[in-house]
Every structure is written in C-alpha cells, then in structure tokens.
Amino acid sequence: MRSLVVCLLLAACVLECTARLQNITVEGITVCNKKRFGMAKVQLYEKDTFDPDDLLATKNPDAEGEFWVYGEEDETHAIVPYLLITHKCNPSKPNCVRIGKYLVPEDKIGGTYDMTYVTLDIKVHGEKEKCT
C-alpha cells in the first residue's frame, strides 16, 4: 500500500514538472441588432477533463462593446480555451439572460484570437438561457 502511495506521488510530481505555462488573449466587439452592445459579461475558461473548468478571466465590454481578455494556465497538455458570453440581447423573456459558448481555435493559443464582431442576436449552438 505504501509503495502505491509513493508511486502516485512520484507520478504527480512528474506531471507537475512537465506542465508548461500557456496563454491566450481574446478580443472582439459585442453587437446586438446591428449596434455595438456593452451590456454583457465575457468569461474566459479553460476546459479540464477530470475537474471543473478553470475560470481564467472575467471582463465586461466597454460602452462600445469592445472587450479584451487574457488568461494563462499551467497544463501538461494543450489548453482548450473558450468564452462564455452572458447577455440580455433578445432573450425569450424580460427576466432572462442568454449564455453563449464560443470556442477558441487551437492555433491561437500563445497569441491573440480576434473575434472581430460577436453578433449576440444570432443564437450559437448549445446556447443556454437562464431566467430568474
């Protein structure tokens, strides 16, 4: 039993030593009904397999809808970043918010992903709506 614990600790140390710091910057402009839309929350996450996804950064776009988020994470494998954008652009009911998930291309890791215009009035695949 003791040797199993020692082996697991050694394996964890090896994985920790092989982890490398990776980063991503995402920028864009949120738009609703063809107008810049600053009333949103942009969250940058990194997907994990065995534990909850890591929140790397949270920003609100400025009044013109412009946002810029940066995050970094130590991982042994390539990070899988994505954005969650929460907003009230055309919800089904007045007391609801829409939450869209936007994947970041793998080739943008270590650099900047410019989303240009993020059109919030168009529903994205897997979008959710939360009502209070």
pLDDT digits (tens, 9 = 90+) for 1-55: 666 544 444 444 444 456 899 999 999 999 999 999 999 999 999 999 888 999 9
- Specify the pTM: 0.84
Q: In the 3-class helix/strand/coil scheme, how is 55-115 assigned residue by residue?
A: EEEEECCCCCCEEEEEEEEEECCCCCEEEEEEECCCCCCCCEEEEEEEECCHHHCCCEEEE
Q: How far is residue 118 CA from its own chain's centroid? A: 14
Chain segment 44-88, per-residue pLDDT in tens: 999 998 889 999 999 999 999 999 999 999 999 999 999 999 999
Distance CA(81)–CA(44), nearest Å, equals 7
What domains lie within the chain, and their CATH numbers? 21-131 (2.60.40.3330)
Whether the CA torsion 55, 56, 60, 61 is positive or negative: it is negative
**Helix and strand element counts for the chain (H, E):** 1, 9
